[in-house]
Structure 1
């Protein structure tokens, strides 16, 4: 049930590819590198995804329904950070109740073909969820709109709520974001919120401040590079469409067509809220 694309085969070699297809080096079960849920190579189609840094390469696995087999270039620093996260995740931790948070910070930026992401590693037990940000063009009525998809790594609750109940979408609805059932339609603009771009890079999502003006709702640890097409669309329309989904709903989608499919699936399940945010900066 394993798929090894030609580009992955060319990187790992025919011998290793054949061993994978023969089951020698492929795991029976895995965590999908896209949606982060469990997969089984014995019973469901599985893609091999090769992440390549300057000196290091890591072979991961994903549901074929999530992403196809492919090679994804990343920086060496980001790849080593991902390896450390994987190794830490494999060490059992004592069970603790989750501590959700309404606002969190992203992990380092990882560019992927046609979509740009600030992916987030799963939050350790007892720590706040982390927001992952994906930038991509989403078609509205045949026109490409610059879009952000915000997805936390775990449940996000209201301040003081330690039950683990996920209230991420309801918190955003309280702030004015609307439930979306049609991804093809442009959502209404949300007053007071904006997306901050500086010299063509994404820096922050801003929300209204209690004392007036704006304050950071999400801020990049380092400026997020976006594609030229995304930047041009955002500048032309002077706004960015923000979608928000609960943890584990969309996952890390490396291409814009796959991002669109995942969003449509989530919207059909009532798991998407969104708004159009004015563009601030350049």
Structure 2
């Protein structure tokens, strides 16, 4: 019985025609796997299966996912994040060889309720500043959406701007983020941007690269654990809502109701931009 395996053109170009053909012929492809997206079992003989290639600076890891969860694609990650994921995968599989194809894990779906936050150094345009990232569920009408609230610790200016003027929201609007007038409305999806969740943790926000593909806009120094509820909401909708506010506008709220109240106050002041970002991929 042939495997129901999809190898996209971009994955094929990375691994080569010979390896792609071997995969499609059954070599290096597991009968059963843990989906890199929803973390539930999959069977490549029984259901359409995507090949997902995680690519670092020097290392690449091939993973598998339900085709209904994510398409076959190449996902760029930092070398440190990729090696960390490989170590976690190897430990989970009883110290199996890291180079063996495994179910790595990326875009997720799974859950809890309290917001969590972390700080990290953005690789976004403008001055270097520490970004605070808060994860929580935000209701759009009656539907809970997985959300990220991005707030720098200080002003963020354009390259060469030494005046201290905060241009953080202007920079993001230049990239396609839109001002928010109503928190109950889901913002439009922003092409080329995505959110990378691997091994149940938030790893990065990716933006389009000038040479094609994606590059890191924000990357966690240490991957941020997200709640099961957040991952389930993200997985069900296959996207995350990213809100951005200027420094000191929202703060790190300990509960989701307080997070929403702070966002509503920021919206009333015209100090929120947002976009819907798909889970990983380009």
- 1-side partners of 2:162 and 2:264: how far apart? 31
Aligned to 2:108: none
- 2-side partners of 1:257 and 1:145: how far apart? 14
State TM-score, norm by structure 1: 0.57
Find runs of 4+ consecutive structure 1 residues off by over 3 angstroms. Answer: none
Could you tell me whether the CA contact under 8 Å between 1:113 and 1:254 is conserved in 2?
Answer: no
Aligned to 1:227: 227
Aligned to 2:195: 195
Q: Report deviation, 1:119.
A: 4.3
Could you tell me whether the CA contact under 8 Å between 2:193 and 2:207 is conserved in 1?
Answer: yes
**SS at the partner of 2:280?**
strand
How many residue pairs were aligned? Answer: 165
User: Any gaps of 5 or more consecutive residues in structure 2?
Assistant: 1-111, 122-126
Match status 1:243 vs 2:243? yes
User: Any gaps of 5 or more consecutive residues in structure 1?
Assistant: 1-111, 122-126
**SS at the partner of 1:192?**
coil
- 1-side partners of 2:231 and 2:279: how far apart? 10
- 2-side partners of 1:163 and 1:228: how far apart? 42
Q: Report deviation, 1:128.
A: 3.6
Aligned to 1:170: 170
Match status 1:274 vs 2:277? no
Aligned to 1:152: 152
Q: Report deviation, 1:200.
A: 1.7
User: 1:250–1:154: structure 2 CA closer, same or farther, 3 Å change rule?
Assistant: same
Q: Report deviation, 1:113.
A: 7.2
Aligned to 1:139: 139
- 1-side partners of 2:167 and 2:194: how far apart? 22
- 1-side partners of 2:194 and 2:245: how far apart? 18
State TM-score, norm by structure 2: 0.57
**SS at the partner of 1:280?**
coil
Aligned to 1:25: none
Aligned to 2:205: 205
- 2-side partners of 1:155 and 1:184: how far apart? 28
